[in-house]
Structure 1
Amino acid sequence: MSLEQSLSRLEERYRDIQQEIAGHANPGSAEYTQLLRELSEMEPVIAKAAEWQSGVKEFAELEQMIEDRSTDSEMRELAREEYYALKERLPMLEREVQLLLIPKDADDERNAILEIRPGTGGDEASLFAADLLRMYQRYAELQGWRFEPIDVSETDVGGVKEASVAVSGRGVFARLKFESGVHRVQRIPTTESGGRIHTSAATVAVLPEVEEVDIAVAEKDLRIDVYRSSGPGGQSVNTTDSAVRITHLPTGLVVICQDEKSQHKNKAKAMKVLRARLYEQKRQKLEDERAAERRTQVGSGDRSERIRTYNFPQNRVSDHRINLTLYKLDKVVVGEALDEVIDALITEDQAARLAAVEEA
């Protein structure tokens, strides 16, 4: 479908919504609210399309003015300057319109639940998982997001057995969703006396955070256990039974939270993670039914199932999905250059979805 056809459909739908809103019998209804939301989402596209269409029309008029020999020479020269400036600007405007026309992921504006687990590699994998946790925490700080631990289980050597955190802010899921998958590290462990490079892995899952209205969870489907929270090596860190383990009986999903001293707060956080996981299952099922190609959220943690490799000896980060290599690992692992990787992934995703829209 051409850009003109896509815009024609959009403008027709925009007019229809305006008429529906104007003649709606119940302005307080959910349907009315949905129409307003849809209209609001379309307005930036309509505005940008009008700017592009106006530019195309002006470009044709300038071209005609330049070719018309009866035009005053001074006017022709001014027209020529505007013509070349517009000729350079129009492709960028067209690209902006095309990107705005791409169907958006409905979950892009949601907050996210970030889960990290060590994979292959023993203690070194757990240490790498801790490094990834710090990287995302620092990245969140640089973005102005809130980074709130839900459950972080540490090892005796300072690594991470498992970590769940809530990340909240503007467009969190849209930027972090591409981090899902297996991350591989190549480096010399501090315990390695021979100077040999070891390879280990950690898995990252990024789930959209959902509200109770998005996913209803019946109390009868839950088994809730409370116990005393523990630190590295099983040592007790709390004198009350504040840790919470929630088992969702229909699916077998288990969520643990012991970060807070309050049992009530731990339960609330655990329910937040459970709803996110159940929602992700629902997303997966819908996308499978549409035969949509999708990146796996969490693999087995095996080294071969990698999306990205962090090579410390060469100060190199390679994202294997888009063949991107950066020699600034030191800046990526502290969150400073992670944007460069994420921006490249978003650009690639936009190009793929734009191609799909054009083929439709």
Structure 2
Amino acid sequence: MHRDETRRRAATRTDVAKLAGVSSAVVSYVVNGGPRPVARDTQQRVLDAIQVLGYRPNASARALKLGSTNLIGIVAPMLSNPFYAEFIDQINIAASKRGHALLLTTTQGDPESERQIVTDLVNRGVDGLLFLVFLHDENLYSLRSPEIPRVLLDRSQPIPGFQTIGSGIIDGSRMATQYLLDHGATSVTLIAGELDAPRIDLRRIGWEQALHAAGIVVPEPYITTWDQKGGYHAAEHLLRLADRHHPLAIFAGSDLIAMGAVQAIHDMGLSIPDDVQIISFDGTSIARYSWPALTAVRHPFSAMAEAALNTVLDTKTDNGNQIFPMSLVTGFSCA
């Protein structure tokens, strides 16, 4: 009778204790993994009772007691871009190592939804907030509950008052451009998307520095959208204007742009790298499975993810702006 009545309402820890023949404290030790050890046979009785009754611990009550939800909120613009997907995957791995789970939200670049998204995460009592997005309203970065630690990701320059983590974008872009020059390019054209003010595209700075250092006149970059379609149209346009006596060298500002450019090159009956050399920025897994495999400068996703979790969970240390060097992943798109 007791089991039937319990099934008609939410089972409690007391119900589990009665069925298992133990105290409520023992049930708590089993559910929370401590703080006191429980004999194996007693633990099994508790687990069996939990299964029979369908008991689900009250996460809110547990969080209130422990002072932690073990949840990290992360705000991203989208998941369709492999840069965000790969970065978030590494953040999830780093969080799991520390006994935390992610509450993932995406803004889709919609200013109207940003405030609600950040408010919801704060209301859920997350232990920290990771921003992998440039919010339209900067006040949202510190919205409510200022005691919740926050880290801004994909930031290669310091922002006063915030802890930030990013890649060495200028050095990485300079390295990418120099790699093309070392492989015979007489100039390098940058294909990139637009960034909302006041953001500055650091890729462009590194690209310009490498060309200036080589004594090469910097051409106008081709500004397009940050996706395959933008890369396709950009490469198509550049190839129609290109001097076929000199192979065109392209520095693509993202893997998605590079993938679109590669498709355009193939559709025009040209060869990579004989007719067109191309190097990509991001170095996500899709770059390895292009045709041919792309040479790319890669973000240190794993190292940045580890740093993000260490920073957001260690509230006693102010790490300021942490920059991690990018690396060159060689494929077959340059030589």
Q: Under TM normalisation by the shorter chain, which class is it?
A: under 0.3
TM-score by length of 1: 0.24
